[in-house]
Amino acid sequence: MGPWKELLAGACTARTLQRAKSALGRHTEYKLGQGGVDPTLDLTPKCDCSGFVAWAIGVPRELPPGSGHWLQTTTFWEGGPPVGSGLFHQVPGGKAEPGDLYVYGDHAGSQGHIGIITAVDDGRPTAVIHCSMGNWRRHRDAVRETDPGVFSRNPRSRIMRVDYDALRGQFGLQPLPVLQHPLLRDDPTLRRVVAEHLVLKPTGGPVDGCGAFQDGLNHLAQTYPECRVDWGAGQQHRGYYGPKTEQAIKNFQAAHNIQANGWIGHDTTLALDAALLAYDASGTDTTRVPDP
């Protein structure tokens, strides 16, 4: 599997938003036709709107590389061709969510434009991150989070939603298993864990995905104190994967008939998701193995 496919394997809405916001404040220069060629690298110093969105999603703008098929504004606007059909779906009015794309395609000799919606009010976009010449001219930084006026004023604008599993399927990758509990489901690292692309192990320091996992353990610890993780004053150690978290995970694993190695892997994460759903539904963890 190539590096860009490994990135696509873990792509999701939360990670797209995270990557988009990480590009703010870099003083990126707007340059038509540049950026987004290799999403495994940092965003290039010069970029255009489609390159920025492809980079944020985590796919090359020429998809696949060498095919001559490009993710342009019209490609997003039309749903994916010529890259593939059904990769992006139009969202009805009043149903927008953060992570959706706001786009109008090329038309009558005018360039299209695209951005990533970052905030909504009653299903309507209120903020968008986009890479534009206007941003560059006014602020010397092409990537800015602004109101959606540049899109809402264009009658051809559409809100499109990325179908990450369709993108994965287009290139022979398996859909990500779905985490359902709110404490876990939006964490991009844990989504990679349940897809068996990653195993988290103790480091003594901060580890992506550990904080959400600790949230889940501490939620269960209202009934099962042996699973509780002490974050310290002001939760200053949330996300740190040290001996206390390792022991709490071992206790959870032992209670759910999983090898007690203290690692956050596929089976342990899915078991925690199931335990949290069962706990919220009945007030107790019905997936726990009864004590002998």
Q: What sections of 59-146 are H helices per DSSP?
A: 73-78, 133-139
The full set of domain ranges for the chain reads 3-170, 188-282
Considering Cα of 108, then 49, then 9, then 171, what sign does the dihedral take?
positive
Q: What local confidence, expressed as pLDDT, does residue 287 receive? A: 76
> Which tens digit of pLDDT belongs to each residue from 14-54?
789 989 999 999 999 999 999 999 999 999 999 999 999 99
SS3 70: strand
pLDDT for 122-136, tens place per residue?
999 999 999 999 999
Cβ contact 162:87 at 8 Å: yes
d(CA 9, CA 57): 11
Q: Which CATH number does 3-170 carry?
A: 3.90.1720.10
Residue 53 DSSP label: H
**214: Cα separation from own chain's centroid:** 19
pLDDT reported for residue 286: 67
pLDDT value, residue 163: 94
The pLDDT value given to residue 188:
85
Whole-angstrom Cα distance, residue 117 to residue 125? Answer: 6
- pLDDT, position 1: 46
Show the tokens assigned to 201. Answer: 């192990």
The whole-number pLDDT of residue 284 equals 73
Between the CA of residue 255 and those of 50, 199, 251, 252, what are the distances in Å? 49, 20, 6, 5
- In this prediction, the residues of the chain whose per-residue pLDDT falls under 50 are 1
- Closest by Cα among 179, 120, 177, 175 to 152: 120
Q: Please provide the CATH number assigned to the domain covering 188-282.
A: 1.10.101
Q: Which residue pairs, CB below 8 angstroms and at least 24 apart, start in 104-110?
A: 104/73, 104/77, 104/151, 104/154, 104/156, 104/157, 104/158, 105/72, 105/73, 105/74, 105/76, 105/77, 105/78, 105/156, 106/72, 106/73, 106/74, 107/156
pTM above 0.85, yes or no: no
pLDDT of residue 133: 97
- In the block, residue with structure tokens 């873990």: 10
28, with CB counted inside 10 A (0-12, 13-18, 19+), is buried
Backbone phi, psi, residue 130, to 5°? -150, 155
pLDDT, residue 11, reads: 87
